[in-house]
């Protein structure tokens, strides 16, 4: 190997050694950074655990204590729902019966009013035929008599009576 090749080989070895030292420094820095971050995360996890565990235990205790109450509330709601359904069914039945009765009463009232109107019409017709008809006839007769009497008195006033002698009376009779 000649001198140039050895120099070149030595320089590549030095460059490689420096690169490895730099890489080692970066890895050490990365290691220290990860270690600090890991220590912080552990500290934060411990803090979170110290705060969260009591809250979770309290929630668990509340759920455990409430389980009986929640079961009771659910069963009460089911009973109320069943009772309400029964009451609504009874109300529906009662309301339907009331509507049917009301409908029948309205029909009866309508029939009663119709019959009453028919009776009033019949009574009016009977009154017209039995009373008003004869009253009109009598009124016509009275009016005819009144006209006849008026005409008679008018004629007598136009032709006053003369005193006739007995002879003229005989002559009038003769004619």
What proportions of the chain, in percent to the nearest 5, are helix, strand and coil? 95, 0, 5
> Given this model, what pLDDT does residue 50 score?
87
Chain length of the chain = 175
Q: Nearest-CA neighbor of 108 among 100, 119, 121, 93?
A: 100
**Rounded to 5°, angle at Cα 68 from 66 and 71:** 105
Q: Mind listing the pLDDT tens digit for each residue in 34-63?
A: 999 999 999 999 888 888 888 888 888 888
pLDDT bin (cut points 50, 70, 90) of residue 166 is low
- How high does pLDDT run on average in the chain? 86
Q: Nearest-CA neighbor of 151 among 159, 161, 163?
A: 159
pLDDT bin (cut points 50, 70, 90) of residue 65 is confident
**Mean pLDDT (whole number) for 114-125:** 89
> Given this model, what pLDDT does residue 83 score?
92
pLDDT bin (cut points 50, 70, 90) of residue 148 is confident
Domain boundaries, the chain: 12-158
> Given this model, what pLDDT does residue 129 score?
79
The two most distant CA atoms of the chain are separated, in Å, by 213
Work out the percent of the chain whose per-residue pLDDT is above 90. Answer: 46
More confident residue, 160 or 117: 117
> Given this model, what pLDDT does residue 57 score?
87
Measure the CA–CA gap between 62 and 56, rounded to whole angstroms: 10
pLDDT bin (cut points 50, 70, 90) of residue 68 is confident
């Amino acid at each position: 190997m000649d001198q140039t090749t050895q120099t070149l080989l030595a320089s590549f070895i030095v460059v490689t050694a420096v690169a490895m030292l730099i890489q080692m420094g970066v890895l050490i820095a990365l290691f220290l950074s990860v270690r600090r971050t890991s220590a912080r995360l552990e500290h934060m996890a411990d803090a979170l655990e110290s705060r969260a565990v009591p809250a979770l235990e309290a929630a668990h205790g509340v759920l455990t204590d409430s389980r009986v109450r929640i079961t009771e509330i659910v069963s009460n709601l089911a009973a109320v729902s069943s009772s309400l359904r029964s009451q609504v069914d009874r109300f529906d039945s009662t309301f339907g019966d009331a509507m049917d009765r009301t409908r029948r009463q309205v029909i009866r009232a309508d029939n009663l009013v119709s019959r009453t109107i028919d009776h009033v019409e019949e009574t009016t017709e009977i009154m017209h035929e039995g009373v008003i008809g004869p009253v009109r006839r009598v009124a016509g007769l009275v009016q005819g008599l009144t006209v006849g009497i008026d005409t008679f008195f008018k004629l007598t006033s136009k032709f006053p009576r003369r005193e006739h002698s007995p002879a003229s009376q005989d002559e009038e009779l003769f004619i």
